[in-house]
Amino acid sequence: MNGKFIILINSIRRDLEAIAAIYDELERHPLTAETDILIVIAYPGQSRNQ
């Protein structure tokens, strides 16, 4: 699969659900070297300096 994916995880409770969904999608559409994936983990109230 060529293309770009942006995956935003913004809830601690949903991390495992999000990871499972990513694996399910990758099983259906194998990646190629041209695929870019950006995973952003942004928990509400979390500071970069912690």
Closest to 36 in 3D by CA, of 10, 8, 1: 1
- CA distance linking residue 45 with residue 47, whole number of Å: 6
pTM (global) more than 0.95:
no
* Phi, then psi, of 47 in degrees rounded to 5: -95, 150
Region 2-24 average pLDDT: 69
The answer for 24, left when phi > 0, alpha when psi is -120 to 50, beta otherwise, is alpha
At 43, list the tokens.
């928990």
Higher pLDDT, 49 or 19: 19
pLDDT at residue 47 greater than cutoff 70 = no
pLDDT at residue 5 greater than cutoff 70 = no
At 47, list the tokens.
């500071």
pLDDT tens figures, 14-45: 667 777 877 787 778 766 667 676 666 666 66
